[in-house]
A and B are shown apart, each in its own frame.
Chain A
Amino acid sequence: MGSRASTLLREEEIEEIKKETGFSHSQITRLYSRFTSLDKGENGTLSREDFQRIPELAINPLGDRIINAFFPEGEDQVNFRGFMRTLAHFRPIEDNEKNKDPIASEPLNSRSNKLLFAFRLYDLDRDDKISRDELLQVLRMMVGVNISDEQLGSIADRTIQEADQNGDNSISFNEFIKVLEKVDVEQKMSIRFLH
């Protein structure tokens, strides 16, 4: 199957990824080596177990959710393109990018795309709404064992109350954006990838 050959990254691919995600050449090669080091099965894709092998993720409350975010709907394997696409959300927004041609679609690391990523972390069933249950799930993951379910439920209710504007007892994406308008998302959701 030539699985060996497919593990080498071709120039054209690098160019494509560069255009799509905005990473630089050296960043892409570096992340590719990281990708291959995670890919124990050496088949050019990562499965959930490959991610789970990273020990630090086991002690991250949202670890599994974030792993999940790498995999497109219903799939169990992610290739390098998909890997980079997800990581691209976390690129810092550079000023000169804002002036790029408006014809091209919004870059992956724009504010609203970042927020969409965060939104999808809550909204598992992709119905574009964070229901009370979904919020409760995430809260439960992020909170210690000392809080009872009732208390957590009240927190969730209050949170939805603050954010909900159309009274459907769930948070839509637009409401989500509105609630976080004062938060410096660009800074909080960006990491500097080493050159």
Chain B
Amino acid sequence: MACRTCLWLLGTTFFTCTVRLVVEGTEVGATQGSHPEPGVVGSNHSQAGGGHGSSISGIQIVTFKWHHVEAPYLIALWILVAGVSKMVVELNHNLTSVIPESALLIIIGWILGGIIYGADKMQTFTLTPTVFFFYLLPQVILDAGYFMPNKLFFSNMGAILVYAVIGTCWNAATVGLGLWGCWLGGAMGDIDIGLLQFLLFGSLIAAVDPVAVIAVFEEVHVNEVLFIMVFGESLLNDGVTVVLFNVFDAFVSLGGAEIDAVEIIKGIISFFVVAFGGSLVGIIFALLISLLTRCTKNIQIIEPGFIFILGYLSYLTAEMLSLSAILSIVFCGICCQKYINANMDERSVTTVRYVMKVLANGSETIIFVFLGISAIDPAVWVWNTGFILLTLLFIFVFRFIGVFLLTWILNKYRLVPLEFIDQVVMSYGGLRGAVAYGLVAMLDENKFKEKNLMVSTTLIVVYFTVMLQGITMKPLVTWLKVKRAAVTELTLAEKIQNRTFDHMLVAIEDISGQIGHNYMRDKWHNFEERWLCWFLMKPSARKSRDYIFNIFHQLNLKDAMSYVKEVRATHKVRESHDNLILQDIVPSVCLDMHEQDLTMRESEDFNAHHLLQQHLYRGRKQVLKHRYSRSHLETNRDENEVQEIFQRTMRSRLESFKSAKMGVAPAKKIQTKHQKKDKPQKVRGEGTFSPFLHVRPHSHPLIGNVSLKKHYDMMKMYGNHVFDTIPLIPVQPLPQARPPQLRGHQPPVVCIIIQSHSKAISRICLILENRLD
């Protein structure tokens, strides 16, 4: 409670401070005129120094040098205000789960705008296009590109492109033409506007906005395919938007008479040039970044800086060449992420990730606050009921139609069709945001007589989509999902079987190479591995980049190490014993990462369904949460699961292979006898059942009589102390179990492993070796 009141006080203090300064500043600068300068946050305080032309009567100990620091001070202050607003917004979690943050920030913007307007009698601070496009937008998009789930993105690339290009063109055309038709019909009264201007307006209002989309989808958890569709579309449609905007802008300048087929063809060509050119620029910069990070071994401390600078440069370069800047920076982020994550030191990677998020969050906050502030400006408000309402109607309706149409076509070619609810969410989630506002503010007033009307309409559209659609998105989704959900409660068998089916399907997909267009993907992978990785990655990074091994890497090596230590420590004690029962030094110290949950067992309320729900492994299809989030940096929660499954699989494979080599009959029947005998033995933690051998984790028929010392000696003999860190080799035998007779000499366990044809295991050993020096 005290914290909250503190924040409120802080907030109000800053608001009053701002107002004071603004008031003072206005008084001083009142004589200098009041044209908003686009350079600095739209403030109209002139930089005229020395306004106080008074004579110096003596040495002044302290002077108030406002003009000295005016520009940076205001900027810093505004950033602070935005940050504080975000804090205020986040105070109440119940509120934020109902109303998305972006909406609340806009409301705060309104309040602030009101205060400033009240103090100044004009809107001194607005979101100017320059500031927006050069200083606020790039980091948001870079963040999007850098954290983009690449595999998902590229495997759905076709669908995303269809929505982005064709969908946006459809939206632009229909909205523009629809409005034009209604204007002809007289629904908007008398405004000085033409077909081309309508089309231009349509094209800038048609684009789905990445900033707004993220902001809303943070709260609404949708499946990853759906998310990547909307998100990818919002990023890639910039290519179309830029082209359409420039083309129609040029057309309007030329006048209607000059437009002929040549111009139209030029327009279409410019689309390809802009889009592909922009992406190419981005890719070039990605290459540059990767190359740079490859050579930065000695200056790791400034590595992160390169990413941001080069990313920003890619944006500016594309802008300079009049290509699509957003596409450029997106592809820069997408293409470089893999290589820089591999090349850079871990701490640098963490730094980059965090700074990226800070910048993106900060920018987003500022954008929304200013979107709110910019509204409180009577100078720009022109109300035309027809225009505004029709725009709202058209963008809403035509988006739905467009999405459903395109999805119907796409579903014929997609492996996994998009369902109805997905389409509804996609249509409803087509939010417009600051990019549209930025574009409309860039219009030339002389060419576009109705610019203010367009600005007002854009603002209203943005507010409508962000606030109304943002607020109602979640309830809509829940309502739809609830409607679809099965009424009956599933039985245990059904639940288990459903999960089995999921795993089966995923496995068969992997076996038959189903995911994506396999041939192209394989070719790309080969090319990438041979050439790109060699060129762009540090040699040390190249070794450990395999996905599975990364997971294995994250095995708690400390566990493995402690196992080694304990083995070494106790082997002296147990040296004299054969047939050791080492229940203390259990190899499951490596596997058994979690304590047994005793409380569960003791609780009265044993609910099998609940247990299953909690503990069943999720298949690959089950991951519901999209992996991109503006405000949360989370490591993949599935990694634990994957680790466990991987260990278990490797273990059982190793055991079955050993059994095959050793001639132990893998038939289940023999082992069940042992199994029954083993039942009374206390089992700690998990029991792993291999499909071929019923082997409890603390017994191993093969190692049998091998004493710990001998085992250890064998390992040392083979000079590979790595092996004693592999948690795959259980060591101590079971006293009751009668191990099958080992014939002749005992082939060392190590030998079997070396000879193991499962390359995976041997590679793991190599990697562990490297890690352990």
A-to-B contact residues, CB < 8 Å: 31, 33-34, 37-38, 49, 51-66, 68, 87, 90, 118, 121, 124-125, 133, 136-151, 154-155, 158-159, 162-163, 179-180, 182-183, 185, 188-189, 191-194
Contact = CB atoms under 8 A, between A and B. Distances in A.
A138 to B, nearest CB: 7
10 contacts: A57-B507, A60-B619, A62-B503, A141-B689, A142-B496, A145-B594, A155-B611, A155-B612, A158-B492, A185-B501
Given A49-B757, A137-B689, A193 B514 contact: yes
A59 B514 CA distance: 17
B615 A56 contact: no
B409 interface: no
Contact of A183 (B497, B652, B668): B497
B504 interface: yes
Contacts of A53: 758-760
B669 A59 contact: no
Contacts of B600: 148, 151
A34 B498 contact: no
A63 B507 contact: yes
B610 to A, nearest CB: 11
A51 B506 CA distance: 14
Contacts of A33: 519
A142 B499 contact: yes
A125 B668 contact: yes
B649 interface: yes
Nearest to A84: B512
B152 to A, nearest CB: 15
Given A60-B645, A61-B617, 8 more contacts: A57-B507, A57-B510, A58-B650, A64-B691, A121-B500, A141-B648, A144-B617, A192-B415
Contacts, number: 187
Interface in B668-700: 668-669, 672, 675, 683, 685-691
A182 B487 CA distance: 12
A142 B504 contact: no
Nearest to A56: B510
B641 interface: yes
A191 B672 CA distance: 36
Given A53-B759, A58-B548, A151-B606, A124 B504 contact: no
Interface in B515-552: 517-519, 522, 546-548, 551
A142 B594 contact: no
B689 A148 contact: no
Contact of A142 (B415, B614, B616): B616
Contacts of A148: 596-597, 600-601
A133 B694 CA distance: 10
B193 to A, nearest CB: 49
A118 B758 contact: no
Contacts of A179: 491, 493-494, 497
Contacts of A138: 500
Contacts of A37: 513, 522
Nearest to A189: B501
A49 B758 contact: yes
Given A57-B507, A61-B503, A87 B691 contact: no
B687 A189 contact: no
Contacts of B687: 140, 149
A146 B689 contact: no
B691 A159 contact: no
Interface residues of B, number: 77
A180 B497 contact: yes
A59 B597 CA distance: 24
B653 A118 contact: no
B380 interface: no
Nearest to A68: B691
Contact of B493 (A63, A66, A68, A180): A180
Given A142-B617, A146-B597, A192-B415, A58 B760 contact: yes
Given A59-B646, A147-B615, A188 B498 contact: yes
B511 A51 contact: yes
Nearest to A131: B672
Nearest to A188: B501
A147 B616 CA distance: 10
A127 B517 CA distance: 40
A145 B646 contact: no
B358 interface: no
Nearest to B417: A192
B644 A145 contact: yes
B592 interface: yes
Given A34-B512, A149-B683, A155-B611, A188 B688 contact: no
A126 to B, nearest CB: 11
A48 to B, nearest CB: 9
B418 interface: no
Contact of B492 (A87, A141, A162, A191): A162
Contacts of A193: 512, 514
A163 B597 CA distance: 29
A150 B601 contact: yes
A50 to B, nearest CB: 10
Contacts of B503: 60-62, 142
A56 B512 CA distance: 12
B508 interface: yes
A189 B506 CA distance: 10
A120 B645 CA distance: 21
Interface string B588-603: 0001111011001100
B493 A146 contact: no
B642 interface: yes
Contacts of B652: 64
Given A55-B548, A191-B509, A66 B504 contact: yes
Contacts of B685: 145
B75 interface: no
A182 B498 CA distance: 11
A158 B505 contact: no
A87 to B, nearest CB: 6
A136 B689 CA distance: 9
A55 B504 contact: no
A162 B415 contact: no
B3 interface: no
B608 interface: yes
B488 interface: yes
A52 B512 contact: no
B645 A55 contact: no
A21 B507 CA distance: 19
Interface string B734-773: 0000000000000000000000011110000000000000
Given A52-B653, A148-B596, A143 B616 contact: yes
Contacts of B668: 124-125
Given A66-B504, A145-B593, A189-B505, A54 B642 contact: no
A140 B691 CA distance: 11
Contact of A144 (B504, B518, B615): B615
B691 to A, nearest CB: 6
4 interchain residue pairs of minimum CB distance: A145-B686, A56-B510, A188-B501, A66-B507
Contacts of A60: 503, 506-507, 510, 619, 645, 649
B743 to A, nearest CB: 22
A66 to B, nearest CB: 4
Contacts of B512: 31, 34, 87, 191, 193
Contacts of A54: 510-511
A143 B618 CA distance: 9
